[in-house]
Every structure is written in C-alpha cells, then in structure tokens.
Amino acid sequence: MATTVLIPARLASSRLPEKPLADLGGMPMVVRVAKRVALALPAETQVVVACDSPRIVSACEAFGVRALLTRIDHASGSDRLAQACQLLALGDEDIVVNVQGDEPLIDTHLVAAVANLLEQYPLASMGTAAHALESGADFYDSNVVKVVCDAAGMAMYFSRAPIAWWRDRPADAPHSLPQPAPLRHIGIYSYRAGFLRSFPMLAQAPMEISEALEQLRALWHGHKIAVYISDSAPGPGVDTPQDLERVRRLLAQG
C-alpha cells in the first residue's frame, strides 16, 4: 500500500488569475505547497501536481517537483485526481492524499494524519479532517462547512447549515455555540485509489446538488468517510489578492 500526494492546480481563477504560479518567497505557490507537503511524509511518498497547463508543469519541473498534465475540461478537482490516478497506474488499495494547491501554510502534521486514516480504518473509502468551532459566527456561516461524526469517527453528514442543531438554544444568545462544540470540516482528503477512479462515474446525490458538497456523493452511495479531529484550525489559504499578500507577510515573518 503506497501513498501518493496529489495537488490539483488549475491556471484559471476568477478571483486570483494564474493563482498556482503566484510568487511566494521566490517560488510559485503550488511548488511551495508541494515542497512543504513532502516534509510531512516518508521519503518514498511521491508528491505530484496534477494540473491543466504546460506552464504549471514547467514551473514545477524547474524546482524539482513532479507534475502531470491533465485535461483542461475537468468539472471538478476530483475528476482531475481520478485522471492522475490512471496516469500514475496506482493500485486500487494505494492511498491518495488530496492537498489543495492554494494552502501554502498547511499543517504538515495534518497531512500525515489524514494520510494515515485509511490504514487505521480499513472500511473507509475516504478520510478527511475537522476541528472544533470556537466562533458562533462561523457556526451560522454557510461558507463554513460543518460535519457530524458517529461514535466510530465516521462522518454522518456534511452541511453548510449549522449542525448539529440543539433544541434548547438560549433565546438571549442567538449566536452561541452548542456543547460539545460543532465540528468545522477541513478541506483535505485521503482516498483509496480504486474508489477515487470510480468516484466521477457515481451519480450525483440530491443532497450534494443542494449543498454543493461533493463528499456527500460518497455518503449517499454508502461509502464511509473517516474523520481526523485536529486540535486547531488550519492556516489561511489563498483565494484573493488580499489573501496572497497576507500569506506573503506571514512567510516573511518566518
């Protein structure tokens, strides 16, 4: 059972054009992510950028990072990863970790923990992560995805709605948090390669369409998703020019 980290990268971005190639301390952002992730896992783990542009391939190769050119018309990141699994000829039981290419400050311990989930939970097809919410505003924010887990640490449901909702919410504290604290989903995944190859062929789930959350397709089709609970929130990602400047400042501070 081998582990491969795949980093999907798409050149087009509506909020930050050519985001994977944005300079962060003298190297493209996607390269910085790949090199940071490589520190988290054993030396035999391959780290590969799956991208849609020869320019990204060239930028990665200039820094010694392996990159695969995938189709430009993929509808989602998981479709791109599925093609990368085929190109790499990964075995069905091999583990793939999906790290987003716009997370240059990702916690390396988190990467290793999510990579190990599927060895710990042999019945799970996927693994992901979450952390306890501390902000009532985040609990009610539809851009913050929440997850509810069962006693075995498997995801029961993901939602943009505030879940799990508590019946006796205090009327004088409308933005308070229930206890125990709800869990915020962190967008890092591990997959068994055989499942990942088949995932784009599964019919979309009605709840996936409503919530715009792909992982609900796996649950709807009866697959299990193991959840690692992190002690802290992840570092900031990069979606906008303002995010990019903030990460540049953080990197400059060391």
- The answer as to whether 162 is a domain residue is no
Determine the Cα–Cα distance for residues 19 and 142; give it in Å rounded to an integer: 24
Looking up tokens 């491969």, which residue turns up? 4
pLDDT for the residue 168: 81
Structural domain including 88 reads 3-133+183-252
- The answer as to whether 78 is a domain residue is yes
Structural domains of the chain, count: 1
- The answer as to whether 178 is a domain residue is no
- The answer as to whether 126 is a domain residue is yes
- The answer as to whether 226 is a domain residue is yes
pLDDT for the residue 190: 97
- The answer as to whether 43 is a domain residue is yes
- The answer as to whether 168 is a domain residue is no
Local confidence band at 77 (pLDDT 50, 70, 90 cut-offs): confident
- Residues of the chain above pLDDT 70, percent: 99
- The answer as to whether 212 is a domain residue is yes
Look up the CATH number of the domain holding residue 54: 3.90.550.10
pLDDT digits (tens, 9 = 90+) for 134-185: 998 999 999 999 999 999 999 999 999 999 998 888 776 667 888 899 999 9
- Contacts by residues 150-156 (CB-CB < 8 Å, ≥ 24 positions apart): 153/121, 153/226, 153/227, 153/229, 154/121, 154/124, 154/224, 154/225, 154/226, 154/227, 155/128, 155/215, 155/219, 155/224, 155/225, 155/226, 155/227, 156/219
pLDDT above 90 (res 85): yes
pLDDT for the residue 234: 86
One-letter amino acid identity for 243?
A: D
